[in-house]
Amino acid sequence: MAQDIHDDFQAELVAALPYLYRVGRRLASSGDRAEDLVQDGVEQALRKRGRFRGDGSVRSWVAAIMANLHRSRVRRDGRRGVHENVDDCRDLIVVRPSQPAYSAVGRLWLRVRTLPCRERRAIYFAGFCGMSHAELARRERVAPGTIKSRLSRARARLAE
C-alpha cells in the first residue's frame, strides 16, 4: 500500500513537470533560473513528501514550494546582490571600435544626413540597402533616369 502511494506521488509529480516549468518561467527572470527553481522544488518535494497531506494536488503543492523558494532567493539576492553571468549580458555590452574605418563610416553618415531628402533616400536605398535603380524607381514612383540623376548629384555632393 505504501509503495502504491509512493508510485502515485512520483507519477503525479512527473505529469506535473510541464506545468511546473511554466510556473518556474513566470517566477524566474531567465530560463536557467527557472530550471534551477523547478529542480530545487522537485527535490524538496521528494525529500519532504511525508508532509504532503493529500488533500490537494501534488502539482499545486510543488508550485507553492517553488514560490516559497523563489521568495527566499529574492530576499537573499536583495541582501547579497545578484551574480549575473557575463555571457547572458553580452548583447547589452556595446563597445564602439576604435578602428579608423568606423570613424570614416561615421563621417560619411554625417555627410549623408546633410543631403536633400530625395538624394539621401536614393543613396540610402541604393547604397546601404542594395536596391537596383529599377527597384528604387518603382518604389519612388519615378523614372529610372531620375534615380540615376539623384544618385549622381548625391555622390557629387559627398565627394566635395
What grid cell was written down for 120?
539621401
- Residue spans of the domains in the chain: they are 2-81, 103-159
Residue with cell 501534488: 58
Q: Among 26, 20, 25, which Cα is nearest to 58's? A: 20
Calculate the alpha carbon distances from 14 to 11, 47, 117 in Å.
5, 15, 62
Domain 2-81 has CATH 1.10.1740: yes
How far, in Å, CA of 40 to CA of 20, rounded?
A: 11
pLDDT in tens, 90-118: 666 666 656 666 677 777 778 888 888 88
CATH of domain 103-159: 1.10.10.10
φ, ψ of residue 130 to 5 degrees: the values are 80, 25
| pLDDT (tens digit per residue) in 146-159 | 999 999 999 898 88
pTM of the predicted model, to two decimals? 0.47
